[in-house]
Each structure stands twice: as structure tokens, then as C-alpha cells.
Chains A and B, each alone.
Chain A
């Protein structure tokens, strides 16, 4: 399933309403990353291609302007989500999946603190809460 991500438009579409929310300054986030990189450095995605899945899966890279790709990193408000959505993302949802330990050895996690109030795009459909709660 190749990813066909269109380049970002130069001017924003006024009809498009984006729901945002604010991550308050001081919010703690957890993030997994390679030991070779500091915890607050973006993923090394600048030279990666959007048409190769392992180069980005869902969020990155996506082309930016003027940079080649928009710098990204995945962080979560808890350790479990941060681990599941990064280091364990490729693990199959089956009983007793296999997982190579080498990937774990090269990774670590960091706790990040948001310095200033951060405006984030809300990708959560509020109605999905009802489904979640059953």
C-alpha cells in the first residue's frame, strides 16, 4: 500500500476547519528513539521518501515547504502508548508474536517537557469516545 501524500498547498484552503487543542507548558511526554540521538531531536526523516512505507508509515515523512520533509517525532502522554506506537509498532496483533531484541537494545525512551503552550491538531473524533467506552 504505497503512500500517496500530496505536497502541502502553498496557501491554506479557507474552507478547511482544523480542530486544534493546546498542550499546556509543562506537559510531560514520552518518546522512544535511537540511542544514537538525543531525546528531543526530530526523527531522521529529511532524506526519506514518502513512497516507501518503512520510511514513514502514517505520519512521516511528508513533504514540506521549504524543507524536503516536515520534521516529526512521535511522543505520547504515557509510556505504553509511546512504546506501542513506535518500537513495538511492527509487532503483529497475534498471540505470542515474535520480536527481535536487537531493536530494543538500540533504543531508549526519554521524557520530554513541553516548554511553551503547544497548539496541536486534534485528530481525535470526539464521537469515537462513545465507541471506545462501549
Chain B
């Protein structure tokens, strides 16, 4: 990677983000990493952007995200790095050259110890990626970001790590909040699957079980009331029957009725469930093959064995209490 690929740099400081020319940004970083300097310059790092990418002006959020990802990679590398710390900064060991992780597509170079600053200055061609100055990343700040602290042997010394992002791989080890993001998206995807399955189950139920509208319920009963919807909703309110909401309308499954009247067992089943149970909970109970009755559906026993249906409903409403 050479300078010709790089054009601009963003300097991350406690006060914010500043777009600078690459060399200028690197000088600021080196200054901040120098142990002799006062704390006036507390640069956290420099992000070097690709010239070919005509992206938007560096943004504080995207820069922070990139910085955090780079920190995690650098941290991983440092944790695995086998170096004799005593030797750092002495003679030709002023630059701990390169630590590469073979299974991951990134590259971490560490400048550590007394000679780190000089080694950085000699680095004529800063490459693409993120340079992180660890001097100002104190433990409070790292805790705030939920980032791991530097391995102990690398603390209390000038240390700049350069993390080159060559490409993002799916096999990359995820750490910290990245895991959280992954877990969250998996959870959302799982929920979407459940929602899809639920919709599918409901549409199958509607296909397989003849259901009435409120008006049809009134028509089938001997009701002569003028308001043809009132009877069904009154029965539902009294928890004698249930309705399922499907495609914006309430439907009353027909198996609940005999000669236009609610089967009393249906009301008893409804009352065995908690008050917040909805129509689909009852539809599921009645229409799902039940292992306790050899895979038959409770609705098949509604007329022949109402007691058993009620006992099945109680077990279904409180599944944990049977075992």
C-alpha cells in the first residue's frame, strides 16, 4: 500500500473529528504519543481514507465505528503477540515489526516503547487504515465504550497500533458490541420467521375451519335482534365464544356452536385460560393435534367428551404445572 492511494486523514480527538492532510494528521498523532509532551494534544487516533473512494466527508459516527473495530483488532493482536517487552525500545527493536493474523484479513503493526515515536516519524508513507494512540485511552473511557483494556504488559508505555483493513470477512472474530449487534439481528430474523409461521398457521386455520361473521352467528341463532352483530359480540364479551381476527375482520369458528347456540364447553375452556388470552390462543388449542389424546384435536371431542376437553385446556393453559 502506498501514499498514492491515500488522500485524506481524519484526526480523532476528545473535541471531535478533524479532516486533515495525511502528514499533518500523523504529526499530530506522533505529538500526542510522545511522552515528553504536555496533555494539550490528546489525539486518540488517525483514520486514513482511500483516495479512490469519493465518499462523504468523514463523519464522527462512522469514524468512531471504524476506530472501535480497529481497536478490537489491535487488541486481539496485542493479546496474542509474543514479544519480550524488556527488549522494546532498545537498539534495533525500536519497532516491533509486524504481527499478522493468518486466519483474518487484517494487519496490525505495533509501535511501542521509548523509540515508538521515532519509528513512527520514520514511517514515511502512512498506509490506509487506522492509527491508534493508546496513551489517551484511559480505562474509564474504554469501560464506557465497553472495550477491553490493553493487555497489562503494554500499558504505561507509548504505544501506537496501526490496523490496516484490507477487507472484511464473514469469518472474522466478533467481539464486544459487534456480538451484540449480531445477536440482535439474529433475534430479529428469528422473530420474522416466527411471524411468518404464525401468519401461515392462521391462514391454514381459516382454510380448514368454517367460520362465521357476527351477522352469520345471529342468522344461525334464533335471535331476532335488529343489530345483527350484537349477539356474537355479547357472547364473546361474556366469554362464551371466541372470535379470531383475520384480515381485518372478526370470525367466529363454527365448531363452537350447536344449533346456533354456543357449546357450554367452549366457554369453560375460555375461562380456564387467563383473561388476556385471545381468540387465536383458543383456535390453536382446539385445532392442534394433542399428544394427550393420541394426536386427535380437542375440537373432535367437543360434543363427545367435554370433560376431557376441559382437562386438556387446563393443562394447555398452565403447561409448567403438570410436570
Contacts and interface: CB of A to CB of B under 8 A. Distances in A.
B291 A107 contact: no
B320 A32 contact: yes
A98 interface: yes
B91 interface: no
B184 interface: no
Interface string B282-323: 001100100111100000000000001001101111111111
Contacts of A90: 291, 316, 319
Q: Which one of B320, B321, B322 has the highest number of Cβ atoms from chain A below 10 Å of its Cβ?
A: B320
A52 B197 contact: no
A24 interface: no
B317 A106 contact: yes
Q: Which 8 A-B pairs have the closest CB atoms?
A: A54-B315, A32-B320, A54-B292, A86-B323, A74-B323, A53-B292, A107-B320, A103-B319
A111 interface: no
B321 A44 contact: yes
Given A43-B321, A98-B201, A52 B308 contact: yes
Interface string A1-38: 10000000000000000000000000000001110110
A100 B323 contact: no
Interface in B181-226: 193, 197, 201
Interface stretch (B15-23, B56-64, B128-136, B273-281): B273-281
Contacts of A114: none
A43 B193 CA distance: 34
Interface of B: 193, 197, 201, 273-274, 276-277, 281, 284-285, 288, 291-294, 308, 311-312, 314-323
A53 B281 CA distance: 21
Nearest to B293: A53
A87 B197 contact: no
A56 B311 CA distance: 11
A92 B290 CA distance: 10
A87 B315 contact: no
A108 to B, nearest CB: 8
28 contacts: A1-B294, A34-B320, A34-B321, A36-B318, A43-B321, A54-B312, A54-B315, A54-B316, A55-B311, A58-B323, A60-B323, A86-B320, A87-B320, A90-B291, A90-B319, A96-B197, A98-B201, A98-B288, A100-B281, A102-B277, A102-B317, A103-B316, A106-B274, A106-B317, A106-B318, A107-B318, A107-B319, A107-B320
A33 B284 contact: no
Contacts of B281: 100, 102
A119 to B, nearest CB: 21
Given A54-B315, A100-B316, A102-B281, A85 B323 contact: yes
B321 A54 contact: no
